[in-house]
Amino acid sequence: MPDNYDVAFSAIRIRNTRSRHQDTLWIRISVSVDGQDRGTANWDGTGGRDKNNGYFDGLRNAQGKLIGVSTGPITDGSAVKVSFLVLNSGHTPNEKAYSDALAAISSAATTYGGLWGYLIGSLTAVASLFVGANCDGPVAADAFTVTGKQIREGINVHPYYNWVNPSGYIGPNSPQGCGSNSNYDAVVQFTRHS
């Protein structure tokens, strides 16, 4: 019998901000199942976009919901692809450039291993399209695929299944006058859809 899951960007750990004092975060996550787009969600900034070093769990939108998308009905053999992009930006990102960057992340993940390292150069170039201040730029981005079976088995052990990149996201060289290179961890959480 098919299951339905919610996929959410649920937490972020900032070990080191890209800016000198605080990063102003913009978060976007998208989900596809077996190549079919299931949607994209953005964090609306509830609770404040400005974050310093620390662990921020349960990032929620104004409706009290995690930043996420439902998979719809899936089976054990379904391939669930998740892509996300976290920006430090003192200005609202250009919508088209933000969408295009997330699509590039998803596409690159199909081709390359070690996605964050590959993306550092290309995202830094893309970032200039939609951020203005010199400390702005990507601080975490990834795309990964899990099967319906991996999600189901993870949730059978706990009420949720968390995906975390064990390498984290160490950012590119920050421009002079900014903080040192960013260092982030991100948590994507899968839960049964209620």
- In total, the chain counts a number of residues equal to 194
Q: Which of 26, 8, 29, 17 is nearest to 142 (CA)?
A: 29
As to burial, measured by CB atoms within 10 angstroms (0-12 exposed, 13-18 middle, 19+ buried), residue 176 is exposed
pLDDT tens per residue, range 69-127: 999 999 999 999 999 999 888 888 888 877 887 887 777 765 544 556 555 555 554 55
Q: What pLDDT band is residue 135 in, cutting at 50, 70 and 90?
A: confident
Percent residues over pLDDT 70 in the chain? 86
Q: Which of 42, 56, 47, 50 is nearest to 19 (CA)?
A: 50
CATH of the domain at 56: 2.60.40
pTM for the full model?
0.86
Contacts of 9 (CB under 8 A, 6+ apart): 27, 29, 41, 43, 59, 66, 67, 68, 84, 186, 187, 188, 189
CA distance 41 to 33: 15
Can you give the residue range of the structural domain that contains 23? 3-192
pLDDT tens per residue, range 164-190: 888 888 887 777 888 888 999 999 999
Q: How many domains in the chain?
A: 1
Phi and psi torsions of 120, nearest 5°: -50, -55
Q: CB–CB of 77/125 below 8 Å? A: no
Q: How far apart are the first and last CA of the chain?
A: 16
Give Cα 67 to chain centroid, integer Å: 10
Q: What is the mean pLDDT of the chain?
A: 84
Amino acid letter at 160?
A: Y
